[in-house]
Structure 1
Amino acid sequence: MPKYCSIFILFFIFISFCTYGQKKTLRAKNITESITIDGKINEEAWKTAPIATDFVMYEPDNGKPIGEDKKTDVKVLYDNNAVYISAVLYDNQPNKISRELTNRDEYGVSDVFSVSINGNNDGQQDFRFFVTAAGVQLDCLATEDNEDFNWDAIWDSEVTMTNFGWVVEMKIPYAALRFSKATKQTWGLNFRRDLKRDDKDQSYTWNFVDTKIGAVITQEGILEGIENIKTPTRLFLIPYTSAYYQQDDFASDKTLKAGMDIKYGINDAFTLDAILVPDFGQTKFDNAILNLEPFEQQFDENRSFFTEAADLFSKGNLFYSRRIGGAPTIEPTTGDNEVVTEYPSSTDLLNAVKVSGRTEKGLGIGFLNAITEKTYAKIQDTISGATRKEIVEPLVNYNVLVLDQRFNQNSSVTFVNTNTLRNGNFRDANVSALLFDLNTKVNTYKLSGDFKYSAVKDSDINYGSIYGLENYDGFKTQLSFAKTSGKYRYMFSGKYLSEMYDVNDLGIIFVNNYHSGYGEMSYRIINPTKTFNSLKFSQNINVEIQNTTGKAQEAWYQAKLAAITLKNNYLEGKFQINPVDRYNFYEPRVYGRYVYVPKSVTGYFRYSTNQNNKFSLDIDGSIEKFDEDGRVVYAISPGLKHRFNDKFSLSYNLIYTRKVNDRGWVDFDADDIIFAERNREIVDHYFTGKYSISNKMSLNLIARYYWSYAENHEFFSLQDDGKLIANSTYSENRNRNFNSWNFDFSYSWWFAPGSEISVLYRNYALESTNLVQKSISTNLNNVFDTNLTTIFSVSIRYYIDYNSLKRK
């Protein structure tokens, strides 16, 4: 072995067993007296509790001690029910403390105090609780890769403003945390203070977090002193009732619903969540688009049951929760003179249950089960008028199982299984995966990878199998190595997906049957310079080769620069070149066929002014030029926001895209695959407004108008070699003009912890035609002249703690 290799191995082993600098330790004080959460911290217990102080800057000037003018003192108390935290945040300019009122889980422009608690002290997952200077609560489950603000806990907090700064008092019940059964608890702990000013942002932490190291959670301090606690039963009932009135141009309808969510603490580590008679009528609308791509449109998940505590179930990216209750998967068969008169856009969720948590040994377990109802389409004989029903989705049982073993505070090995079982003679699917994420002790290097295996049983190959097989399986594997700390970092990755790798029954994947290599190198500044608070420059290259043909389906080099100035303005620029001819294996919509995609060059920019200002501006734009006569894509997206005061704000965003001489599939003509050269425009307007009456009550407005068209001006036939030749005989009208309108105006009042009254007024409409209209006023009139649907709804959810019932 060469000498330099031996030196490198010894160095790698050395850094793997190094430890961080000494961590701070705080001792919690046990109490028997009651604590009133009023932001005054005047109880006797607070006076003798140990103090956490001497905060250190996290960003932008990492490592700089906090000044006396911003001194921060934090104390922790506990009893058998909860942990209590007080923070005194000094500020020599109390009149400049930012205090924007927002909805729950939204920062806004406000100073913030937060606590991060890791009940297992394993360096892997935090429970984070935030309170803004305006008294708004935020909370999240945090891993190194993600902060999940969809998770909502029930806890209490209060803020008071003083002539020397502000004061926070918090009560965090044990029900909102997860920890071991040990008699003496040792928790990971850190406190953070964020300051928002017109000209700068600053963040400080109690235990120093070195930004040269990629991991944050492993750099927390220690909380000791919590001993011999007897935690109460964790059983919470959230009954709801909701009423809906819906009206369109043809009919009206009234609906009354009632149901219940249940949360039960199996023990201090595991929780069971169940929904009985689910109601998702007030979830945010989906952003409908004119989708001319060969793939389905992917939607965000807005249903709280599937978004809360989703970190375990997102492992391996095998679970796309919108499959549950999504569109039916089977197209009905029609005979002569028959037409489909009713085809449901979704399936009904009957019930869902999930169990999640982590043992004190670091084993995370997640199990989710959901059942959707049998769904029918209605078919009518156009001559006799007779109607019949046909199944378009049988009763379906969905299961997800995750086993995630963490070790060494920053590494893990994970097993994931997803399973879809359709009742009767229909398609079933199963996917399993083994994942690993290994980091050196001080998070300098990372080795990660996976192996995933899919199996599909499709007894009727007319329903979904593109391979013409009843049973087929496939696999995917990936391996990555990265340097994850310091100013200079790099990452190399390779992966392989087999031809029949298919996770689309409970996951989502668009492209398979290729192998690829990816490399990235980056440089960043750790502390501010005379010009920038932060700066990162990166270069990366990616090549994807289709397995069957050996042709490139992706090949690009990219350089990117992103920076934040001393005035908190954001700048970003990107250059990308696709230097070789590529081939698209999905646009033809026929298995085994492909279409040529020419070389191209892309430029991108983004500029955002300081979001702390009353008026802020975002603008980004891009241009992609293809090596084909006149083929180019332009895009620009300006955004404006004005904060009139701490209660009221309005924002407007526009996304405009123009594609000149775009080429894409439009039709089949016998055995011919027809493509068109076309011009496309996409205009997406997004308007939001917020008026916060208090930190628990608000009015919110969301309005979206989307318009897009595709106008064909030349047709082509696809050849076997992927090239297009002119087709002068095809003359069908395959133009598209699409309009979508959504309007939501809501009132929300959190009248008690975990309890909410929500009132929503909503209307929406869609219009799709092959007659292109290029006047925006004409399109607006057309969409409002279609069947505009209006919904008015009221929903009440009430949070009941079993312990409070037991005491009564």
Structure 2
Amino acid sequence: MTKYPYLLLFFYLLIPTETYSQKKTLLSQKKDSKTIYDSDTTSIERYKNPYIATDFVMFEPDNGKAIPNEKRTEVKVDHDNVALYITAKIYDNEPTKILKEITTRDIFGASDHFAVYINGFNDGQQDYRFYVSAAGVQMDCIATKDEEDFTWDAIWHSKVKMTDYGWSVEMKIPYAAIRFSNVKNKTWGLNFMREIKRNVQKYTWNYIDTKIENPITQNGLLEGINEITPPTRLFFIPYTSAYYQEDRIASDRTFKAGLDIKYGINDAFTLDAILVPDFGQTKFDNAILNLTPFEQTLTENRPFFTEGTNLFSNGNLFYSRRIGGSPITDYYTLEEQIGATEEISNYPTTVNLINAVKVSGRTKSGLGIGVLNAITKKTDATIHDVATDSYREEMVQPLTNYNIISLDQRFRQNSSISLINTNTIRNGNYRDANVSSLLFDLNTKSNSYNLFGNYNFSTVKDVEDYNGYQSALGFAKTSGRYRYKISGDYYSKNYDTNDLSQLFYSNYTSLNLQGSYRIVNPTKIFNSFKAYQYVNYEFENTTHKKQLSIYTTLLKASTLQNDAFEFYFQVSPETTYDFYEPRVAGRYVAVPGYVNTVFNFTSNPNRPFSYVIQPSITNFSETDRLVYDLYLSAKYIINPKLSFSLISEIQTKKNDKGFATIDNDDILFGKRSRTFLQNDLAGKYAITNRMSLNLTARYYWSFSDIHQFQTLQSDGSLIDNTTYTTNKNRNFNSWNFDLAYSWWFAPGSEISVLYRNYVQLSNNGVEVEKKLNKNFTNVFDGNLTNIISIRLRYFIDYNSLVK
């Protein structure tokens, strides 16, 4: 055992301990730019080996195994001044068994797939990935070491053809869809992937070693793209939409028109702008009964804030729903501020966006630059004075500017240093905020070890100005069967990023340990097997009390029949303290230890009928305090065009304890019964691979029934309170129904028709109705809102206009 472990660690970080497999190289030939497709896929055989990508190798489950000759794949790449042209022959000795479910864009489904991965900087950091299914459905994403972002959508062309030998693919990927350095002789990172869905097998052209965490560093090379002159990247996407909305009280008609612009400033940088935004047809939010001290986290469904925003997600400082979200003055604060004879007659739940602009890209030296700016409108609530029967407007959100600047320097093909700044400025005497962050992610050349960390500094200017900071440092082994990670975080008391991010916890120190084991190749029992062990501690900085102490074991496996099992076991063996549930600074409540067990079985999703069963139970050390949860889902693929799925979840909390109210400076908790039930139904009928009908329906019901109030003591304990009698029960119902028709009649151009029906019923201080049928009936007896809308979006290429 060495006497100098830190010196050894230093050398591990600087000196590679493994070597990559040799990178394959493919040459591209220049072709006549007037040719859109080379429809003669047999011509692939006329090329010599440097122009054919073949000899694919299995990525998973049997990593490194050569593809059988009867399932070989052959690919060639051509180019001109406009685009890349990829032609692939995909052999299958059982062509009638090729799966080809027709889905909507970016949904993989039960279908075989072919993909090309392109890295125009060959920096091992980011791929542009383009997939096409055997049914002709497109999927695309921006991939980094940590994730694949399928919210990004590019404009490209593809077609497939079923043949007697299998199937063929042709792609045209315009240079406008990717980014690359402007040098004379280009060398790009390149890989191809072929998925045989019925066998749950993936093969790649250049071997990807699954013992190494980052697959992007293991791409092959594409050469031969020399002295091209890409056209101007300028695109206009005008839209027009019309809405008709009615409920039992009123009706409304709305017409909107606007324009999105995408402009390629140069080969690397792109400007995106939205003028007169329209987000009326985005997916509905899954409303819930939220009794926690924290706001509900909502999924971003607006394309501008999901497409190509990976540069802005560094450091988790950007929660895009802040832009155009709830007003800064909430309903209850406004209610306390108005006069005794006044009431709120209209409170806006969201703030309208005036416009938004983003510029992003990466230089040939690896420097990524991203700038995003958005402006939201001044927003008012309507106040009614009952005594005088007069109305007035009260501002709940001033004119606000949101700004993000991100700099991300990549080097050595697998490491980066980033600097991010977020800024929120509100007009007038309202809260302003600024956050700056420095992050680093350093990897050895062989991707065997990783050193990562960050330092953040926040400034808030409000009634009282305050500053805060956060820092983190971690080290991990990221290759091999056995891996580990150790990290620590520190959050100061006044660290606050909530103006443009979402931060729930602060003023604590954490220590996190993780170890894992995985098999690389299938055994006689398992296709894959992974085991994880986690240990997590958190200490509140002021009192040094533990606010988290958990030990977690996670086992994940898939069988040779491609059914998957997951077992999750978590223990919190001691009392910890919650500093947020009391809703008063400096106060805390004791949380008893618990054991949480979850089991998940997922059947092979490529069968016509597949299902998921996931029961769980949490048992607290307090007598008769339990949580039961059952999650069920099922999908039935009737044929490649038609499918239905159903998801149902029910959770019951017995003798749960949570904040109820504040009475005469006493913090009162409620000992309560809680239940929620959620059912989601989805149906899809694909008329073609570019035209579909989609149905989405969701019913959610939840209640909180308090049977004993308790007073919080200064030591975090709770004692029964027999004097407080105000009813604090809650009963919440939510219904959403969407029926949508979508036709992508040209690349980037769509006609969509949507019928939407929804209602929410929230009853406070009532006797809880615990019969499901009665709750469901009450929903449809409520004031249902009905909306029908039609939207036309048309993609215009400036170069087409010139021609």
Q: The TM-score by the shorter chain falls in which range? A: over 0.9
- The alpha carbon displacement at 1:629 in A equals 1.4
1:110-147: CA deviation from partner (whole Å, max 9, x where unpaired): 11000000000000000000010111111100001010
| Corresponding residue number in structure 2 for 1:651 | 645
| Corresponding residue number in structure 1 for 2:477 | 483
Q: 3-state SS of the aligned residue for 2:62?
A: coil
C-alpha spacing 1:291/1:39, structure 2 compared with 1 (3 Å): farther
| Corresponding residue number in structure 2 for 1:408 | 412
Q: What letter is aligned with 1:786?
A: G
| Corresponding residue number in structure 2 for 1:751 | 745
Q: 3-state SS of the aligned residue for 1:780?
A: helix
Q: What letter is aligned with 1:100?
A: E
C-alpha separation in 2, matches of 1:787 and 1:419: 40
| Corresponding residue number in structure 2 for 1:240 | 239
C-alpha separation in 1, matches of 2:565 and 2:239: 46
| Corresponding residue number in structure 1 for 2:16 | 16
C-alpha separation in 2, matches of 1:474 and 1:357: 31
C-alpha separation in 2, matches of 1:2 and 1:262: 61
Residue 44 of structure 2 contacts residue 52 of structure 2 at CA under 8 Å; is this kept in 1?
Answer: no
Q: 3-state SS of the aligned residue for 1:781?
A: helix
| Corresponding residue number in structure 2 for 1:277 | 276
> Given the alignment of the two structures, is residue 216 of structure 1 paired with residue 215 of structure 2, yes or no?
yes
1:353-384: CA deviation from partner (whole Å, max 9, x where unpaired): 00000001000001000000000111111111
C-alpha spacing 1:674/1:6, structure 2 compared with 1 (3 Å): closer
- The alpha carbon displacement at 1:37 in A equals 3.1
Q: What letter is aligned with 2:34?
A: S
| Corresponding residue number in structure 1 for 2:368 | 364
C-alpha separation in 2, matches of 1:620 and 1:18: 40
Residue 44 of structure 2 contacts residue 87 of structure 2 at CA under 8 Å; is this kept in 1?
Answer: no
Q: 3-state SS of the aligned residue for 2:401?
A: strand
Q: 3-state SS of the aligned residue for 2:574?
A: coil
| Corresponding residue number in structure 1 for 2:93 | 92
One of 510, 532, 545 as aligned partner of 2:539: 545
1:59-97: CA deviation from partner (whole Å, max 9, x where unpaired): 011001111010110000000000100000011000011
> Given the alignment of the two structures, is residue 517 of structure 1 paired with residue 511 of structure 2, yes or no?
yes
C-alpha separation in 2, matches of 1:6 and 1:391: 58
1:448-478: CA deviation from partner (whole Å, max 9, x where unpaired): 000011100003xxxxxxxxxx100101100
- The alpha carbon displacement at 1:44 in A equals 9.3
C-alpha separation in 2, matches of 1:375 and 1:521: 50
Residue 581 of structure 1 contacts residue 598 of structure 1 at CA under 8 Å; is this kept in 2?
Answer: yes
Residue 38 of structure 1 contacts residue 158 of structure 1 at CA under 8 Å; is this kept in 2?
Answer: no
C-alpha separation in 2, matches of 1:50 and 1:526: 32
Q: 3-state SS of the aligned residue for 1:782?
A: helix
> Given the alignment of the two structures, is residue 266 of structure 1 paired with residue 265 of structure 2, yes or no?
yes
> Given the alignment of the two structures, is residue 777 of structure 1 paired with residue 754 of structure 2, yes or no?
no
Q: What letter is aligned with 1:797?
A: R
Q: 3-state SS of the aligned residue for 1:186?
A: strand
Residue 41 of structure 2 contacts residue 89 of structure 2 at CA under 8 Å; is this kept in 1?
Answer: no
> Given the alignment of the two structures, is residue 571 of structure 1 paired with residue 561 of structure 2, yes or no?
no
Residue 427 of structure 1 contacts residue 456 of structure 1 at CA under 8 Å; is this kept in 2?
Answer: yes
- The alpha carbon displacement at 1:614 in A equals 0.3
C-alpha separation in 2, matches of 1:755 and 1:449: 43
C-alpha separation in 2, matches of 1:646 and 1:46: 35
- The alpha carbon displacement at 1:394 in A equals 0.1
Residue 41 of structure 2 contacts residue 88 of structure 2 at CA under 8 Å; is this kept in 1?
Answer: no
One of 758, 772, 790 as aligned partner of 2:786: 790
C-alpha spacing 1:413/1:11, structure 2 compared with 1 (3 Å): closer
> Given the alignment of the two structures, is residue 53 of structure 1 paired with residue 54 of structure 2, yes or no?
yes
Q: Map residues 71-110 of structure 1 onto 2, 5 A cutoff.
A: 71-110=72-111
Residue 39 of structure 1 contacts residue 160 of structure 1 at CA under 8 Å; is this kept in 2?
Answer: no
- The alpha carbon displacement at 1:196 in A equals 1.0
C-alpha spacing 1:484/1:497, structure 2 compared with 1 (3 Å): same
| Corresponding residue number in structure 1 for 2:118 | 117
| Corresponding residue number in structure 2 for 1:183 | 184
TM-score by length of 2: 0.97
| Corresponding residue number in structure 2 for 1:494 | 488
Q: 3-state SS of the aligned residue for 2:680?
A: strand
- The alpha carbon displacement at 1:38 in A equals 7.2
C-alpha separation in 2, matches of 1:10 and 1:747: 58
C-alpha separation in 1, matches of 2:194 and 2:777: 50
- The alpha carbon displacement at 1:8 in A equals 3.4
- The alpha carbon displacement at 1:787 in A equals 1.1
Q: What letter is aligned with 1:56?
A: V
Residue 436 of structure 1 contacts residue 450 of structure 1 at CA under 8 Å; is this kept in 2?
Answer: yes
| Corresponding residue number in structure 1 for 2:346 | 342
1:752-780: CA deviation from partner (whole Å, max 9, x where unpaired): 11000000000100011133111111101
Q: Map residues 529-540 of structure 1 onto 2, 5 A cutoff.
A: 529-540=523-534
Residue 161 of structure 1 contacts residue 167 of structure 1 at CA under 8 Å; is this kept in 2?
Answer: yes
C-alpha spacing 1:739/1:9, structure 2 compared with 1 (3 Å): closer
The number of residue pairs the alignment matches comes to 795
C-alpha separation in 2, matches of 1:361 and 1:787: 58
| Corresponding residue number in structure 2 for 1:466 | none
C-alpha separation in 2, matches of 1:3 and 1:480: 23
Q: What letter is aligned with 1:420?
A: T
- The alpha carbon displacement at 1:443 in A equals 0.5
C-alpha separation in 1, matches of 2:662 and 2:14: 63
Residue 754 of structure 2 contacts residue 790 of structure 2 at CA under 8 Å; is this kept in 1?
Answer: yes
1:206-246: CA deviation from partner (whole Å, max 9, x where unpaired): 00000011110000000000000000000000000000000
Q: Map residues 249-264 of structure 1 onto 2, 5 A cutoff.
A: 249-264=248-263
Residue 18 of structure 1 contacts residue 442 of structure 1 at CA under 8 Å; is this kept in 2?
Answer: yes
Q: 3-state SS of the aligned residue for 1:341?
A: strand
> Which ranges in structure 1 are unaligned for 5 or more consecutive residues?
460-469
> Which ranges in structure 2 are unaligned for 5 or more consecutive residues?
none
Residue 21 of structure 2 contacts residue 207 of structure 2 at CA under 8 Å; is this kept in 1?
Answer: no
One of 383, 386, 389 as aligned partner of 2:390: 386
1:566-613: CA deviation from partner (whole Å, max 9, x where unpaired): 100010001111011011111111111111111111111100000010
| Corresponding residue number in structure 1 for 2:694 | 700
C-alpha spacing 1:33/1:279, structure 2 compared with 1 (3 Å): closer
Percentage identity across paired residues of the two chains: 58
Q: 3-state SS of the aligned residue for 1:505?
A: coil
Query: What CA RMSD, in Å, does the superposition of the two structures yield over aligned residues?
Result: 1.4
One of 763, 782, 796 as aligned partner of 1:800: 796
TM-score by length of 1: 0.97
Residue 37 of structure 1 contacts residue 158 of structure 1 at CA under 8 Å; is this kept in 2?
Answer: no
> Given the alignment of the two structures, is residue 422 of structure 1 paired with residue 413 of structure 2, yes or no?
no
- The alpha carbon displacement at 1:12 in A equals 1.7
- The alpha carbon displacement at 1:39 in A equals 5.0
| Corresponding residue number in structure 1 for 2:380 | 376
C-alpha separation in 2, matches of 1:567 and 1:640: 18
C-alpha separation in 2, matches of 1:800 and 1:424: 41
C-alpha separation in 2, matches of 1:33 and 1:559: 57
| Corresponding residue number in structure 2 for 1:203 | 202
| Corresponding residue number in structure 1 for 2:318 | 319
C-alpha separation in 1, matches of 2:242 and 2:6: 71
> Given the alignment of the two structures, is residue 441 of structure 1 paired with residue 445 of structure 2, yes or no?
yes
Q: What letter is aligned with 2:233?
A: R
Q: Map residues 117-156 of structure 1 onto 2, 5 A cutoff.
A: 117-156=118-157
Residue 421 of structure 1 contacts residue 428 of structure 1 at CA under 8 Å; is this kept in 2?
Answer: yes
1:416-453: CA deviation from partner (whole Å, max 9, x where unpaired): 00000000111000000000000000100000000011
C-alpha separation in 1, matches of 2:733 and 2:493: 37
C-alpha spacing 1:6/1:353, structure 2 compared with 1 (3 Å): closer
| Corresponding residue number in structure 1 for 2:580 | 586
Residue 212 of structure 1 contacts residue 526 of structure 1 at CA under 8 Å; is this kept in 2?
Answer: yes
Residue 39 of structure 1 contacts residue 159 of structure 1 at CA under 8 Å; is this kept in 2?
Answer: no
- The alpha carbon displacement at 1:699 in A equals 0.4
C-alpha separation in 2, matches of 1:605 and 1:196: 25
C-alpha spacing 1:44/1:24, structure 2 compared with 1 (3 Å): closer
C-alpha spacing 1:294/1:9, structure 2 compared with 1 (3 Å): closer
Q: Which moved more, 1:563-572 or 1:767-776?
A: 767-776
- The alpha carbon displacement at 1:41 in A equals 3.1
| Corresponding residue number in structure 1 for 2:27 | 27
| Corresponding residue number in structure 2 for 1:615 | 609
Q: 3-state SS of the aligned residue for 2:186?
A: coil
Residue 362 of structure 2 contacts residue 368 of structure 2 at CA under 8 Å; is this kept in 1?
Answer: yes
C-alpha separation in 2, matches of 1:554 and 1:44: 60
Q: What letter is aligned with 1:357?
A: G
